[in-house]
Amino acid sequence: MSSLVRIVVVLVVVVLVGGVVALSMWDIPAPSAKIEKVIPDERFQH
């Protein structure tokens, strides 16, 4: 039973480390949609 727990823990650690490495090396493009929002003048101090 102890060896099964070790194998499961090692597999979970390998999957987590692999996910972190994959996300750190993945070149995610920045959003390119143009957003325009009208802000009323009352929100600014004069």
pTM: 0.57
Confidence of residue 46 (pLDDT cuts 50, 70, 90): low
Tell me the CA distances in angstroms from 27 to 3, 24, 38, 40, 44, one per residue in order.
38, 8, 32, 37, 38
The per-residue pLDDT for 11 is 97
The single-letter code of the amino acid at 42 is E
* pLDDT above 80: residue 18: yes
The per-residue pLDDT for 15 is 98
Average pLDDT on 2-22 reads 96
